[in-house]
Amino acid sequence: MATFQLARVQKSGGLTTELVESLRAEILKGNFKTGDKLPSSKIIEQQSGVSRSVVREAIAQLKAEGLVDSKQGVGVFVTSKKNTQSFQITKAEFESIHNAIQILELRMSVEVEMGAMAAVKRSDDQMQNITNCMLNMENKISQGEDSIAEDFAFHKAIADASGNPYFRRFIDYIGSGVIPAREMITNYENGFGSDKLLAVIQEEHRQICRAIESQDSDLARASIKAHLGNSIKRHSQIEESFNINQEQ
């Protein structure tokens, strides 16, 4: 097997998405063959500069793509390299305002019903998990830290509560890029600072959480539609402003 060396993951994008792309590239270019065992999580953490939770999310996405599989107490092994024709969204696509809008539209078509089902079917334990994910986001935000992993966990918790495992597989498949980069808004919109944006988004998350907790499927559906609709609106305003400036 060729020498394994991952590049340091940059902080500008989704950490999990970047790590997935790096590991996927190692597999597809032949540094790992079918049946090879991936390096330990500790080695991946050290080389890429990410946390254990990011490594777990990256491995989960590669498993969803069918590239790797894990054996309890043994490790993670490459299962296939025949994934080049499968559906995927690249890091570059997540960084485009126009593509971000279209990805949000895709999410809306799925997550609105996912949330409605979660409101009806969720158990008390699943509701606690959703609430804990929201509180973890608030804790990260209050400390001025990145909360993308916690935001991603929030969406996965709702998917789990829906009672349909395919919702979770869909969210895992897209990966943490399902969370639009905050900088995409704050870098373009002068009046929208990061703290203000996070406060708005977090209140939307609270509304979703309250709707699912009350087991009101209509309210859950409306709350998620409003959350994603507001994000689409913010991105669309930036795209429109950018196009006008380009024409001047």
pLDDT single digits (tens) 135-189: 999 998 888 887 888 888 999 999 999 999 889 888 887 765 556 555 555 455 5
| Cα 213 to Cα 122: distance, rounded to the nearest angstrom | 8
| pTM of model > 0.85 | no
Residue 165 lies in a domain: yes
Residues 145 and 219 placed together within one structural domain of the fold: yes
Q: Which of 238, 233, 210 is nearest to 222 (CA)?
A: 210
Residue 68 near residue 79 (C-beta atoms within 8 A)? yes
DSSP track, 140-192? HHHTT---HHHHHHHHHHHHHHTT-HHHHHHHHHH-GGGS--THHHHTT-TT-
Rounded to the nearest 10 degrees, the angle between the axes of helix 148-161 and helix 15-28 is 80
| Cα 99 to Cα 89: distance, rounded to the nearest angstrom | 10
Domain at 150, CATH number: 1.20.120.530
List, for residues 38-62, the tens digit of each pLDDT value.
999 999 999 988 888 889 888 988 8
Of 54, 78, 102, which residue constitutes the final position of a domain? 78
Domain at 29, CATH number: 1.10.10.10
List, for residues 95-145, the tens digit of each pLDDT value.
677 787 888 899 999 999 999 999 999 999 999 999 999 999 999 888 888
Residues 68 and 102 placed together within one structural domain of the fold: no
Residues 110 and 228 placed together within one structural domain of the fold: yes
Backbone phi and psi for residue 151, each to the nearest 5 degrees, phi listed first: -65, -45
Residues 46 and 144 placed together within one structural domain of the fold: no
* pLDDT more than 90, % of the chain: 36
Q: How many CB atoms lie within 10 A of CB 24?
A: 20
Q: Which of 202, 209, 236 is nearest to 223 (CA)?
A: 209
Residues 120 and 228 placed together within one structural domain of the fold: yes
pLDDT band at 194 (very low <50, low <70, confident <90, very high): low
Domain residues for the domain of 109 are: 91-247
Residues 54 and 168 placed together within one structural domain of the fold: no
Domain count, the chain: 2
Residues 127 and 204 placed together within one structural domain of the fold: yes
Residues 41 and 104 placed together within one structural domain of the fold: no
| Cα 190 to Cα 209: distance, rounded to the nearest angstrom | 30
Backbone phi and psi for residue 69, each to the nearest 5 degrees, phi listed first: -145, 150
Residues 126 and 188 placed together within one structural domain of the fold: yes
